[in-house]
């Protein structure tokens, strides 16, 4: 019999547990940000499962980067609308 391959979600959970001591030493606001990284990773589980043999931390961090870039794009669009409405400085 072959060995069972762990699921992406299990791998994220294991990786998150590996970082628990690091998380514990962070300030509360930093802990919230840290938790968001793993929440982003869980939100990209469909894409993460497509990696054949991922280094799970790379998938986790890439998921976080994708989410942050999306947020940055939204902020830029909002700033552009405000600048157009109120004029540039």
pLDDT at 1 over 60: no
Query: How would residue 89 be classed by pLDDT, with cut points 50, 70 and 90?
Result: low
DSSP 28-73: HHHHHHHHHHHHHHHHTHHHHTT-SS--HHHHHHHHHHHHHHHHHH
Count other Cβ atoms within 10 Å, centred on residue 50.
Answer: 10
| Dist CA 10 CA 7 (whole Å) | 5
| Dist CA 38 CA 42 (whole Å) | 6
pLDDT at 26: 95
pLDDT at 48: 87
Place of tokens 């552009």: 80
Q: What is the pLDDT of residues 7-55, one digit of tens each?
A: 889 999 999 999 999 999 999 999 999 999 999 999 999 998 888 666 8
Place of tokens 């606001």: 29
pLDDT at 50: 86
């Amino acid at each position: 019999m072959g060995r069972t391959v762990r699921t992406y979600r299990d791998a994220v959970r294991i990786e998150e547990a590996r970082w628990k001591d690091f998380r514990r030493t962070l300030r509360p606001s930093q802990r919230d940000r840290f938790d968001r990284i793993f929440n982003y990773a869980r939100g990209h589980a469909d894409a993460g499962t497509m990696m054949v043999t991922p280094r799970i931390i790379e998938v986790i961090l890439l998921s976080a980067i994708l989410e942050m870039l999306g947020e940055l794009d939204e902020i830029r669009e909002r700033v552009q609308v405000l600048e157009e409405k109120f004029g540039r400085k």
